[in-house]
Chain A
Amino acid sequence: MSGPVPGAPGAVPPDLVPPRRRRQRTYSGRSLAIAAASTVVFFTALAVVIVNAPGWTQVQRSFLDGEIFLEALPDLIGRFGVNVRLFLIAEVLILAFGLVLAVMRSLPGPVLFPVRLLATVYVDLFRALPGLLVIYILGLGVPALRLPGVPNDPFFWGVVALTLLYSAYVSEVYRAGIESVHPSQAAAARSLGLTQLQAMRHVVLPQAVRRVIPPLLNDFIGLQKDTVLVSFIGVVEIFRESQIHQFARFNFTPYLATALVFLVLTIPLARFTDWLIARQRDRRFASSVRASGDRARRGRIMGWFGRGGTDR
């Protein structure tokens, strides 16, 4: 890794230690003990302050009623199935529609200008509009037209609205990925006779999609939370269910239970996303080391998503 240092055999100057090892050294032994002690003291003090604050008993009664919590939780988890169905269906549609939009915006050439224009206007529009507005217009406005053959199921319109909204964001994520693939890759594909679309499909997109998986997951965390907005057009899902419980008992604990359900879903996904990002950073670090002349093997950081054939 780093060469021998003149005058200090075996010693490695701190600047030459790669970040990973330095971090390990920092968090070893004494500093770890200090961090643990400081954490315990800080949070104990915080808890004492909160519990002794004026109004704590009211807060406890209104938000932290154990009995109401246990009573509401099974209903809430049951209703959460509606949210899960909503975002799972929407996610599949968003992945596909977002990709179509991104590819439309990435096609070069003057002939395809209208295609690019259309996609650009769409993305600008749906990123600019508040989500709740779109959900209202589609979920309440469109069924009110009473057009023959147009469904009036609020769940259907919820899926449509979320798909339209989030596809705009997701297409931008895809597009960043497409643009991060070096143009020499497309040039190499074209030089072999592949068409524009074949080069996109077989060479650019597979590399782009792998790179944008973490930011895509990030957008999906947002989507999963936004499923509660659909309650405003009449879908009875977890938020509406907690409202029903709140009205019945004049107590806010059901909302806290709902919050907990979302935390349990979202935090692992957020941690997983962070882990993916860290892993990609490690891999980039490794390949930049290689590019500077070190041709060491790198089995450790082999592609997570397999080595990927073209269409196997």
Chain B
Amino acid sequence: MTAPALLVEDLWKSFGDLDVLRGIGLEMAEHEIVCVIGASGSGKSTLLRCINLIEPIDAGRIFVEGEEITADGTDVDLIRRRIGIVFQSFNLFPHMSVLDNVTLAPRKVLRQSRSAAEERATALLEQFGLADKRLEIPDRLSGGQQQRVAIVRALAMDPDLLLLDEVTSALDPELVGEVLNVIRDLAEAGMTMLIATHEMGFAREIASRVAFVDDGRILEAGPPDEIFSAPTEPRTGEFLQRIIEAGRL
């Protein structure tokens, strides 16, 4: 039996007095897509940032493909190559062209030649409809285009696991669709993804499983139909009710 793509054990994280994550446990198989839902401030983003080791964790263990990445002496730079993350606010490098944004890490981290990195980047940009933007600087792109570039930038490292942190939350409504389509393509290609999102309809459509995070814990997790239609926890029901009232489901 192969090791799970991702295994999180009893993860704790606090910022000062504030316990943001209070014993998160999560297991993901390869090719699985898990959507993390929950109110703002429930800890979704922090969970993703901890898995990428951007935030140091206080307690718990994280395994990627059976290897503990939270062990002492782990080379975090090596781990981060295998885990891609896309942020809510894109975080593209504003002083570089789209192409340089995408090729920077393959060239500097994976030591690819410029021509090899650019060839691969161009192919990826083409695949996601961004070929004509390769020499633009990010500020000249729409939010949707910027976010697609950010996804391509993460994909250029060939990650085993992709973390998407509310990637459509900073976008104008009419631009959300193009980014969701990219994620659908990735899902079809079998990418293992952990997605924090407020797009409930999308989560329901794409997720293998949905995890509801409340107050720093995963309150319940299961197939989307179960969670959205018949949640067992009253708090999940309340949360979904609020979403429905806001017209977002």
B185 at the A interface (CB under 8 A):
no
Task: State which of A184, A191, A287, A307 has its C-beta within 8 Å of the C-beta of B52.
Answer: A191
Interface contact B81-A188, CB-CB below 8 Å: no
A62 at the B interface (CB under 8 A):
no
Contacts of A54 in B (CB 8 A): none
Closest chain-B Cβ to A296's Cβ sits at a distance in Å of 10
Interface contact B80-A191, CB-CB below 8 Å: yes
Task: State which of A184, A188, A307 has its C-beta within 8 Å of the C-beta of B95.
Answer: A307
Interface contact B142-A210, CB-CB below 8 Å: no
B137 at the A interface (CB under 8 A):
yes
With the chains together, A207 CA to B95 CA distance in Å? 7
Given A192-B157, A193-B109, A287-B139: A185 in contact with B91 (beta carbons within 8 A): yes
Which of A187, A189, A193, A194 has most chain B Cβ within 10 Å?
Answer: A193
Contacts of A180 in B (CB 8 A): none
Interface contact B172-A293, CB-CB below 8 Å: yes
Interface contact B91-A188, CB-CB below 8 Å: yes
Task: State which of A188, A206, A290, A298 has its C-beta within 8 Å of the C-beta of B87.
Answer: A188
Given A193-B157, A298-B139: A184 in contact with B91 (beta carbons within 8 A): yes
Question: Which candidate, B100-108, B126-134, B198-206, is the interface stretch facing chain A?
Answer: B100-108
- The size bracket of the interface on A is 20 to 34
With the chains together, A29 CA to B153 CA distance in Å? 54
Closest chain-B Cβ to A100's Cβ sits at a distance in Å of 21
Interface contact A191-B54, CB-CB below 8 Å: yes
With the chains together, A203 CA to B96 CA distance in Å? 9
B88's nearest neighbour on chain A, judged by CB, is: A184
Interface contact B100-A309, CB-CB below 8 Å: yes
Task: State which of A194, A287, A293, A298 has its C-beta within 8 Å of the C-beta of B109.
Answer: A194
Task: State which of B100, B105, B139 has its C-beta within 8 Å of the C-beta of A193.
Answer: B105
Interface contact A184-B87, CB-CB below 8 Å: yes
With the chains together, A192 CA to B162 CA distance in Å? 11
Interface contact A187-B91, CB-CB below 8 Å: yes
Interface contact B80-A210, CB-CB below 8 Å: no
Q: Count the B residues whose beta carbon is within 8 Å of the partner chain — how many?
A: 34
With the chains together, A180 CA to B162 CA distance in Å? 29
Interface contact A297-B95, CB-CB below 8 Å: no
Which of B81, B89, B100 has most chain A Cβ within 10 Å?
Answer: B100
With the chains together, A192 CA to B48 CA distance in Å? 14
Task: State which of B93, B142, B172 has its C-beta within 8 Å of the C-beta of A188.
Answer: B93
Contacts of B95 in A (CB 8 A): 206-207, 210, 303, 307-308
A127 at the B interface (CB under 8 A):
no
How does the 8 Å CB contact mask read for A183-206 relative to B, with 1 for contact and 0 for none?
011011111111100100011001
Interface contact A207-B105, CB-CB below 8 Å: no
Interface contact B104-A295, CB-CB below 8 Å: no
B154 at the A interface (CB under 8 A):
yes
A201's nearest neighbour on chain B, judged by CB, is: B108
How does the 8 Å CB contact mask read for B23-57 relative to A, with 1 for contact and 0 for none?
00000000000000000000000000000101000
Contacts of B100 in A (CB 8 A): 309-310
Given A185-B93, A193-B81, A310-B96: A202 in contact with B108 (beta carbons within 8 A): yes
Which of B95, B100, B108 has most chain A Cβ within 10 Å?
Answer: B95
Contacts of B216 in A (CB 8 A): none
Interface contact A290-B93, CB-CB below 8 Å: no
Contacts of A308 in B (CB 8 A): 95-96
Given A185-B91, A191-B85, A194-B109: A307 in contact with B77 (beta carbons within 8 A): no
Interface contact A290-B54, CB-CB below 8 Å: no
- What are 25 A-B contacts defined by CB distance under 8 Å? A184-B89, A185-B91, A189-B105, A190-B80, A191-B80, A192-B80, A192-B105, A192-B154, A193-B77, A193-B81, A193-B110, A194-B77, A194-B105, A194-B109, A198-B108, A207-B94, A210-B95, A287-B139, A290-B139, A297-B140, A298-B140, A303-B95, A309-B97, A310-B96, A310-B107
Known contacts A198-B109, A295-B172, A297-B140, then 7 further A-B pairs from the complex at CB < 8 Å, ordered by chain A residue: A190-B54, A191-B85, A192-B105, A192-B157, A202-B108, A203-B93, A308-B95
Interface residues of A, Cβ cutoff 8 Å to B: 184-185, 187-195, 198, 202-203, 206-207, 210, 287, 290, 293, 295, 297-298, 303, 307-310
